[in-house]
């Protein structure tokens, strides 16, 4: 395994927690950005409105990656951890990304949100 990206939320909620881990050898290769991008698309297709990531304050690479997604976000910090809330509500997916996200959902046996 070279990396894992997932979100976890409760049924019926509009928010989920985002988690990403990439093997040290492959960090800064674009893999994390690719996986997060796919998760954002899938999250939007199932009707999630936000993804929340708790990042160590010293993890500048991850904070930069989340900032570089270009999504509206808000942050809070307790000094050791930065909580980044990505706002998905205004995200309109192009047809190709929507189709790919729906294909991922179909493979997982999950229905996309009606649109």
* Domain-located, residue 113: no
* Domain-located, residue 97: yes
CA gap 37, 97 in Å, rounded: 10
Q: Which residues span the domain enclosing 22?
A: 3-108
Q: Structural domain tally of the chain?
A: 1
* Domain-located, residue 33: yes
pLDDT tens digits along 2-43: 899 999 987 778 999 999 998 888 888 888 899 999 999 999
CA gap 58, 1 in Å, rounded: 25
* Domain-located, residue 37: yes
Q: Is the pLDDT of residue 102 over 90?
A: yes
pLDDT tens digits along 75-88: 999 999 999 999 99
* Domain-located, residue 114: no
Kindly report the number of other CB atoms within 10 A of residue 91's CB atom: 17
Looking at residue 10, its pLDDT comes to 77
Question: How deeply is 69 buried, as exposed, middle or buried, from its count of CB atoms within 10 A (0-12, 13-18, 19+)?
Answer: middle
CA gap 71, 9 in Å, rounded: 20
Average pLDDT (59-68) is 93
* Domain-located, residue 13: yes
27-to-31, 33, 63, 83 alpha-carbon distances in Å:
7, 10, 14, 21
* Domain-located, residue 115: no
């Amino acid at each position: 395994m070279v990396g894992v990206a997932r979100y976890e939320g409760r049924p019926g909620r509009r928010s989920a927690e985002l988690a990403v881990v990439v093997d040290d050898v492959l960090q800064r290769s674009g893999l994390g950005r690719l996986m997060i991008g796919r998760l954002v698309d899938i999250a939007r297709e199932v009707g999630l409105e936000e993804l929340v990531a708790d990042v160590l304050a010293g993890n500048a690479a991850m904070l930069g990656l989340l900032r570089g997604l270009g999504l509206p976000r808000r942050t809070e910090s307790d000094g050791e951890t930065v909580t980044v809330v990505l706002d998905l509500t205004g995200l309109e997916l192009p047809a190709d990304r929507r189709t790919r996200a729906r294909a991922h959902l179909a493979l997982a046996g999950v229905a996309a949100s009606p649109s």
